[in-house]
Amino acid sequence: MSWMGPREDAENAFKVRLSLRTALGDKAYAWDTNEEYLFKAMVAFSMRRVPNREGTEISHVLLCNVTQRVSFWFVVTDPSRNHTLPAVEVQSAIRLPLVAVSGGCSSLRMNRNRINNAFFLNDQTLEFLRIPATLAPPTDPSVPIWIIIFGVIFCIVIVATMLLILSGIRQHRRKNKGPSEMEDTEDKWENTVKIENGIPCDPLDMKGGHVNDAFVTEDERLTPL
């Protein structure tokens, strides 16, 4: 008995839904038999990385009920036993971690990400309805986070220190400027010479006082006996 093809109500069938227009807009491509072939190849690639499934071929991945929007169902078969592979096994294969080595550094990726990239889509625009979405692995920053935090704190401390120093210098200048201005005002007052009717007059001694002889009575001029 030969395998005739998948049914959408099959136990191990998965539904896939693509949103090409949403993802690519005016640059959306048409879904045709070539795209179907690529999808089968990517699923077969994922299955071949599972132990004891290294012999999976593109022909073992079957599609049915392909719509124009685009959606379809697929199963992975095992012709040697004439049955479909368990859904759990297919699910784990698509979500299987894939370690890529580049420039001596390894980065963790998922087979799901490889499938997405093949069609220029992501987990939201290429949906495996019974396979949970995988999050892309976080990218390592070129500069460690602790160095960034230390740099920010160090800059804050430097700015705060400079503000305190400038504030202290201003207060010190204000304190020194006040008494000097008062002394200059007193000196100017003492050194001011008044001119009345063209005759210079000595300034009034505000501190010790000054006696005007014109107002001294004759009795006061005489020395008492």
How far apart CA 128 and CA 172 sit, in angstroms, is: 73
Strongest mean pLDDT among 9-23, 97-111, 164-178 = 9-23
pLDDT score for 134: 56
pLDDT score for 136: 47
The 10s digit of each residue's pLDDT in 36-90 is 999 999 999 999 988 888 899 999 999 999 998 899 999 999 878 878 999 889 9
Q: Kindly state the average pLDDT of the residues 215-223.
A: 55
Q: Which residue has the tokens 């986070």?
A: 145
Q: Half-sphere exposure (CA, 13 Å, Cβ side) for 108?
A: 9
pLDDT score for 132: 73
Backbone angles phi, psi at 223, to 5 degrees: -85, 125
Average per-residue pLDDT for the chain: 76
pTM over 0.85: no
Q: Among residues 15, 184, 43, 201, which one has the least CA distance to residue 112?
A: 43
Q: Give me 151's structure tokens.
A: 């740099």
Quote the Cα angle for 156-161-167, to 5°: 125
Q: Among residues 70, 75, 69, 86, which one has the least CA distance to residue 9?
A: 75
Flag whether pLDDT at 158 surpasses 50. yes
pLDDT score for 102: 42
Q: Kindly state the average pLDDT of the residues 160-183.
A: 79
pLDDT score for 109: 57
Using DSSP's 3-state secondary structure scheme, residue 52 falls into coil
Q: Give me 113's structure tokens.
A: 């990400």
